[in-house]
Structure 1
Amino acid sequence: MYDIIGDVHGQAGILKDLLKSMGYEKKDGVFSHETRKAVFVGDFINRGPRIRDTVNLVRSMVESESALAILGNHELNAILFDLKDKSGKLFNKRSSKYRLPLNQTLEEFAPYPEEYKSHLKWMRSLPMFLELDGIRIVHACWRDENIDLLKEHITDDRLKKSFLRKISKNNTELSAAFWQTCKGIDFQLPKDLLVYDDRGQPHRSFRSKWWLNPKGMNFRELSFESRFELPPYTIPPELNGYREPYGANDPIVFFGHYCLKNGDNILAPNLCCLDSCISRNGKLTAYRWSGEKKLVPENIVK
């Protein structure tokens, strides 16, 4: 069965400890388990002290078929940041917004340019989501309409440049589905409301609980933020339309992305967020799934 592992963010040492604690052994340089398979929910680059080691570890497991992995928004940003057309011209202007999170990854791989190029090519072969034996794995948000649209447009075994060019324009239904799947649904605040985090940085949007229908909720109830707290103000009706909730009878979905420093990883009997904010508190979380239809707290491993 499957051991689904949350956002690693360059913490190769902590990842190795977690794998060993779950019975994975290193053979011929690759971690594997006799009866189980690891599944990485994305975001294995950036932030941590051993990014190169992490990418090599995850890739070696995937290529030896002892693990599966999907893309997180950090890998997708790295792919888009480096993507060039046939003439060698960059697809997008390299803004500081996208370079800043990548700086540490770029610095680690600076002495290994060909290796980094190979990893980016490999990342393009990874899926954005998985459906495995009745469970679902996605980096940030599972909405059936988004998944169906991506299935319609991603028909090859890698993300083609023509597809990524469409995404990079960021103004289509397809690009919205793409970014919601790997970054979640950000809720825009009214123009007269500005929220500051604990570093004094202002925010005009917040990460929302994508699995709920927001209609009738207030800002605090809808928020799934780890950086700041929203006020319990009623959301104006004109900003808060109906959204199809994730059904109680829908398959179990595992995801990462949301940096849960505190609280339960299991949000509902069929919803599990495995990002325990490793870059802030040093915790890496996995769920050991063995066929159950409802999530079991005892199967969480940290």
Structure 2
Amino acid sequence: MAEFQSASAEQFTGFDLVGDVHGCYKTLLELLETLGYVRVRGTYQYRDQQRPRQLIFLGDLVDRGPAIRPLLHLVRDMVERGSAVVLMGNHEYHTALYLTPSEQGGYLRRHTDHSNNIIAQTLKQFANYGQELQEFKQWMSELPLFYQHRHFRAVHAFWDEDLIDRFVGEHHRDNLSHQQFVQSALEPKGDCGRLVKRLTTGLTLALPDEHVIVGREGQHRRRFRVRFWGGFDNLGDTAFQPDPLPDSLSQQQLSASTRQWLSEHRYGPERRPLFIGHYWLHNQPQQQCENIACLDYSAVLGGQLVAYRMDDETRLHRDKFVTVDYRD
């Protein structure tokens, strides 16, 4: 797990950033065709090699969808050719932990009912390909956590400037093996664990007064995902997720400490454009503000698979989103 800042990024005339695919293989094929990528010698690259473009997947390739195995083969082949980059999502991280034995026994991620449910489709589709799954687990566990380009940034859920600067300045230069990093990432108070969790799952706030939200997949949540741009007056303003807050909480005013915390983590309008996935949006794709775009539009739940065609603009444009409906 590391950053990605390609030394060869200058060879590309533009980038196509793609939201959470979750095993929607046929839908991705249609999106690739729509974007102008063609199969050459067994894998995909941009059609016009005089003006080449590169795909950047924002994470969450695995789980839930109907064709996870062929999707992973397709995307990994694109990465090996250099026509794509894949960032780590929370589902890749979960898979790596779930399948990695712990030195204390068991696995780095406990096999609870919740964890089993998350990874169920991935395990089912790799039931006869155990060695392949182990190879993909290793590949997923080494995916970069974020991408930086002079024109834009990309991460699965949240750009934490302080943690990223600390990681690049300290851990990235350490002789830290993959296994050591994964082990360290399970320490919630350690830098590695805070970094991976924050970048792949985003900011959350606890629900007050022991309230519980029942998510669309039946899980009970005591925390909710929050946005990290704009201003906030109440709890309802902060929520950024498909499951709405209870009406009794939406108008509750924020405490001074919560306002301060949100302000400290705000991604301001002066920063370069940022692309994220993770948040299960719906309806017509559009930027969240002039320099932030979430590209996760719930494709695996029958929504849309969404890309943004990034060139050298400093502010995002609604007409640069490309969408295809779920096809698998």
TM over 0.5: yes
14, 18, 23: which one pairs with 1:10? 23
Stretch of structure 1 that moved more, 31-40 or 231-240: 231-240
Distance 2:303 2:237 in 1: 27
Q: Map Cα deviations across residues 205-250 of structure 1 (whole Å, 9 max, x no partner).
A: 1100023565xx2111000011224422213345543332212110
Stretch of structure 1 that moved more, 51-60 or 156-165: 156-165
Is contact 1:196–1:228 with CA below 8 Å preserved after alignment? no
Distance 2:218 2:28 in 1: 32
Distance 1:213 1:60 in 2: 42
Residue 199 of structure 2 corresponds to 181
Residue 146 of structure 2 corresponds to 129
The alignment status of 1:271 with 2:288, answered yes or no, reads no
Distance 1:255 1:126 in 2: 16
Q: Secondary structure at the match of 1:169?
A: coil
- Offset at 1:120? 1.2
> Quick one: which amino acid aligns to residue 107 of structure 1?
K
**CA separation of 1:92 and 1:224: change in aligned 2, threshold 3 A:** closer
Q: Give the superposed CA RMSD.
A: 2.3
Structure 1 unmatched runs, 5+? none
Stretch of structure 1 that moved more, 139-148 or 227-236: 227-236
- Offset at 1:99? 2.0
Residue 235 of structure 1 corresponds to 254
Is contact 1:2–1:290 with CA below 8 Å preserved after alignment? yes
Distance 1:54 1:62 in 2: 12
21, 25, 32: which one pairs with 2:45? 32
Q: Map Cα deviations across residues 78-137 of structure 1 (whole Å, 9 max, x no partner).
A: 001111257986334322222211011011111011111111111223200000232101
**CA separation of 1:238 and 1:134: change in aligned 2, threshold 3 A:** closer
Residue 221 of structure 1 corresponds to 237
262, 276, 286: which one pairs with 1:255? 276
Is contact 2:24–2:68 with CA below 8 Å preserved after alignment? yes
- Offset at 1:176? 2.3
* Number of equivalenced pairs: 300
Equivalence map 1:1-302=2 (5 Å): 1-33=14-46, 34=49, 35-84=52-101, 90-151=107-168, 152-155=170-173, 160-197=178-215, 202-212=220-230, 217-230=233-246, 231-242=250-261, 243-244=263-264, 245-302=266-323
Stretch of structure 1 that moved more, 118-127 or 150-159: 150-159
> Quick one: which amino acid aligns to residue 291 of structure 2?
N
Q: Percent identity?
A: 30
Q: Secondary structure at the match of 2:305?
A: coil
Is contact 2:287–2:316 with CA below 8 Å preserved after alignment? yes
Distance 2:176 2:134 in 1: 15
Stretch of structure 1 that moved more, 8-17 or 226-235: 226-235
- Offset at 1:53? 0.9
Distance 2:217 2:134 in 1: 35
Is contact 1:146–1:181 with CA below 8 Å preserved after alignment? no
Is contact 1:18–1:284 with CA below 8 Å preserved after alignment? yes
Is contact 1:131–1:137 with CA below 8 Å preserved after alignment? yes
- Offset at 1:28? 1.4
Stretch of structure 1 that moved more, 204-213 or 15-24: 204-213
Distance 1:255 1:157 in 2: 29
TM (norm. structure 1) is 0.91
> Quick one: which amino acid aligns to residue 199 of structure 2?
T
TM (norm. structure 2) is 0.84
- Offset at 1:280? 1.7
Structure 2 unmatched runs, 5+? 1-13, 324-328
Identify which of structures 1 and 2 has the higher relative contact order when contacts are C-alpha pairs closer than 8 Å and 6+ apart: 2
Is contact 1:44–1:55 with CA below 8 Å preserved after alignment? yes
- Offset at 1:64? 0.6
Q: Secondary structure at the match of 2:260?
A: coil
Is contact 1:275–1:284 with CA below 8 Å preserved after alignment? yes
